[in-house]
Structure 1
Amino acid sequence: MSSFLNKAGTAVEAGEGVWPVRRRRILDWLVNETRGERFIDNILVEMCEKLLASGVPVARATLHFRMNHPQWIGARILWKEGLAEAKINTFAYGIENTPEFLKSPVNAIHQGAEEVRKQLEDTADDEDSFYQELRDDGLTEYIAWPVEHTFGKRHVATFSTSRPGGFTNEHVDFLRDLLPALTLVSEIRLKNIMARTLLQTYVGPHASEQILSGVTTRGSGATVGAAIMICDLRDFTEISDLWPRDDVIHLLNDYFDAMSDPIERYGGEILKFMGDGLLAIFPLSKDTACHDLLQAIREGQALMAQLNQQYAGNGREPLRYGVGVHVGDLMYGNIGSRRRLDFTVIGPAVNVASRLETLTKEVKRPVLLSRAFVEMADCAKDMDSLGTFPLRGLGEPVDVFAFPER
Structure 2
Amino acid sequence: MVGKIPSGCRPHSEIKKINDHIQWLIEQGITCEHIGDLAAGLCDRLIATGVPIWRASIRMPSLHPMYRGVAANFERGGAIVLENAEHGSETERSFEMTPIFHLLSRGEKTGRWNLAKGEGLQYAELHEFALAGGTDHVISIFEFPKEVALRGLGFSLTSDAPGGFSDDQLAIIQELLPALGLAAYRVAVSKTATEILAVYTGARTSARILAGETRRGMGGSIDAAILLADLRNFTALTEAHQPGEIVGFLNEHFELIDRHVEENSGEILKFMGDSVLAIFPTDAENPQKACKAALASAQNLLKANEELNRERTLNGGPDIGIDVVLHLGEVFYGNVGAQGRLDFTVIGRAVNEASRLEKLCGTLEQPLLLSESFAATCAVPCDYLGAFELRGVSKRADVFRLAGAAP
Could you state the TM-score of these two structures normalised by the residue count of structure 1? Answer: 0.88
- Structure 2 residue matching 1:151: 3-state secondary structure: coil
Residue deviations 1:137-167 (CA, integer Å, cap 9, x gap): 4432221111211107133111122222211
User: Does residue 143 of structure 1 match 2:138?
Assistant: yes
Whole-angstrom CA distance in 1 between matches of 2:71 and 2:300: 33
Alpha-carbon distance change, 42 to 154 in structure 1, aligned in 2, over 3 angstroms = closer
Matched, 1:101 2:95: yes
Are 1:263 and 2:257 counterparts? no
- Corresponding residue to 1:23 among 10, 18, 25: 18
Partners of 2:174 and 2:371 in 1: CA distance: 65
Asked if structure 1 preserves the Cα contact closer than 8 Å seen for 2:213 and 2:219, the reply is yes
Return the offset for 1:300: 1.4
Q: What is the 5 A alignment of 1:239-250?
A: 239-250=237-248
1:26-82 alpha-carbon deviations (Å, 9 max, x no partner): 012222564233333222222222212222222222111111121111111112222
Q: Is the 8 A contact 1:216 1:334 kept in 2?
A: yes
1:391 corresponds in structure 2 to 390
What corresponds to 1:188 in structure 2? 186
**Aligned counterparts, 1:45-56, within 5 A:** 45-56=40-51
SS in 2 for 1:179: helix
Which amino acid counterpart does residue 337 of structure 2 have in structure 1? Answer: G
1:96 Cα shift? 6.0
| Cα distance between partner residues in 1 of 2:45 and 2:229 | 54
Give the secondary structure class of the aligned counterpart of 2:57: strand
Of residues 87-96 and 166-175 in structure 1, the stretch that sits farther from structure 2 once superposed is 87-96
> What pairs with 1:53-92 in structure 2 (closer than 5 Å)?
53-83=48-78, 86-92=80-86
Which range is displaced more, 267-276 or 285-294? 285-294
Over 3 Å counting, the alpha-carbon distance change for 1:148 and 1:125 in structure 2 is: closer
Distance in 2, Cα, partners of 1:34 & 1:125: 32
Q: Secondary structure at the match of 1:121?
A: helix
Change in CA separation of 1:151 and 1:128 when aligned onto 2, cut-off 3 Å = closer
Aligned to 1:42: 37
Confirm or deny: 8 A CA contact 1:323 1:356 kept in the other structure: no
Residues 393 and 124 of structure 1: CA distance in aligned 2, closer, same or farther (over 3 Å): closer
Which amino acid is 2:196 matched to?
Answer: L
Percent identity of equivalent pairs: 31
Shift of 1:317: 3.9
Matches within 5 A, 1:205-224: 205-224=203-222
Aligned to 1:377: 378
Q: Distance in 2 between the 1:168 and 1:27 partners?
A: 20
Higher RCO by CA contacts (8 Å cutoff, separation 6 or greater): 2
Residue type of the partner of 1:211? I
Q: Distance in 2 between matches of 1:329 and 1:126?
A: 64
2:114–2:135 Cα contact (<8 Å) kept: yes
- After superposition, the C-alpha distances for 1:254-284 in whole angstroms (9 at most, x for unaligned) are 2212222211232211111001111111122
Q: How many residues align?
A: 389
Report SS of the residue matched to 1:139: coil
The answer for unaligned runs of 5 or more in structure 1 is 1-14
The match for 1:121 among 103, 116, 129 is: 116
Shift of 1:99: 4.6
Which of 261, 272, 275 in structure 2 is aligned with 1:274? Answer: 272
> Residue in 1 aligned with 2:310?
309
Tell me if the contact between 2:113 and 2:120 (Cα under 8 Å) persists in the aligned partners.
Answer: no
CA contact (8 A) 1:367 1:402 kept: yes
My pick for the range that moved more, 27-36 or 176-185, is 27-36
**Which residue is equivalent to 2:157?**
159
| Alpha carbons 1:110, 1:154 under 8 Å: kept | no
Secondary structure of the residue that 1:165 maps to in structure 2?
A: coil
Q: Which moved more, 1:320-329 or 1:169-178?
A: 320-329
Name 2:5's counterpart in structure 1: none
The TM-score with structure 2 as length reference comes to: 0.88
Deviation at 1:368, TM superposition (A): 0.6
Match of 1:131 among 123, 126, 133: 126
Which residue identity is paired with 2:354? A
User: CA–CA distance in 1 between the matches of 2:91 and 2:33?
Assistant: 32
Report the AA paired with residue 398 of structure 1: A
